[in-house]
Amino acid sequence: MMTRAWLILADILVLLFLLFSFVLFFLYQPEYIPPKQPTARQTLPPQIVSSQTDESNCSLPVLPEGNVTLSVLKELNVSREESEAALSLEEILQLSQEVSMQEYLERNTFQYVSLKARLKALDAQKGDRVFIRIFKEEALLEVWIETLQGYRHLKDYPICDYSGHLGPKLKEGDRQAPEGFYRVYPSQLNPHSRFHLAFNLGYPNAYDRAHHHTGSYLMVHGDCRSVGCYAMTDEKIEEIYGLVDAALKHGQPYVPVHIFPFRMEDEAMDAHTESRWYEFWMMLKEGYDYFEAEERPPLVEVQNGRYVIMETAD
């Protein structure tokens, strides 16, 4: 009887030990640390790794093995699997860089090509009618020129400096660069400006005066300094001024200069619906849309304190 009691007690102790071990197992599970794997960068050949750390190549995307951009695949016109099987890593990297550079140059064609080359390509010359658009947010000045095929995109010039923020100029001294539709007449050119070369935008125009906006000497000029103007480098203003001056001397009555806060596509406008200037910008968008559709600058008048976009006479 005594032996049976000891056996039962032993069984109970074994069960308690197993239960205790089971509880400890779930409460204190050991953390699993996987073995360290080499990164994609570590698996690259030394010459590729060194090129990724070279600041001189930072503008060109360098891809890890097996990561081919969509632009490269499109250029190859093959699937990812096919391209990886057919090309070595070095070939993929080289082609990616070439495609990226080509895309970059296409986006900036009108900035980096010379004025002489663009005039020749369009069969145009200084003295032909010109039209200027300025985009604040992009800090960009576009020049369009009239050819036998209509107005063509001639050149883009990065704006070196402008002051203020998005929105129109309201009063003298607010250091705000204007927005709206302006005209440059021969009398507004200043070849002796202390800012190298300059032409006055004609601010305030009829719209500005109707809304009691004040200010004076709002210009596009050189010297890369601005207190309300659109400042260019001296090199850039020489080209722009020369085109405007030649067009006016060859009979263009005035050069229209349309100044927008940004490229006024629907998506961009939707992003600014809460702006205090939304209604004003919608007026500007009518002129922007006209040129985009007709590829010639509209005639812009002011009636009852509003810009009115009218069809250009042939």
- Which positions are catalytic? 221, 229
Sorted by sequence, the CB contacts under 8 Å of residue 145 that are 6+ apart come out as 119, 122, 124, 128, 129, 130, 131, 151, 152, 154, 243
**Residue the block writes with tokens 């300025």:** 134
Contact status, residue 177 vs residue 133, Cβ threshold 8 Å: no
* DSSP code of residue 274: T
Helices (H), 132-233: 206-210
Sorted by sequence, the CB contacts under 8 Å of residue 257 that are 6+ apart come out as 132, 133, 134, 181, 182, 183, 184, 201, 220
CA 130 to CA 157: how far, in whole Å?
Answer: 14
Q: Following CA atoms 223, 224, 228, 230 in sequence, which dihedral angle do they give, to the nearest 10 degrees?
A: 100
CA 59 to CA 39: how far, in whole Å?
Answer: 23
Q: Give the Cβ contact number of residue 195 at 10 Å.
A: 19
**Residue the block writes with tokens 């305030």:** 204
Strands 306-310 and 299-303: antiparallel
Type and span of the H or E element at 152:
strand 150-158
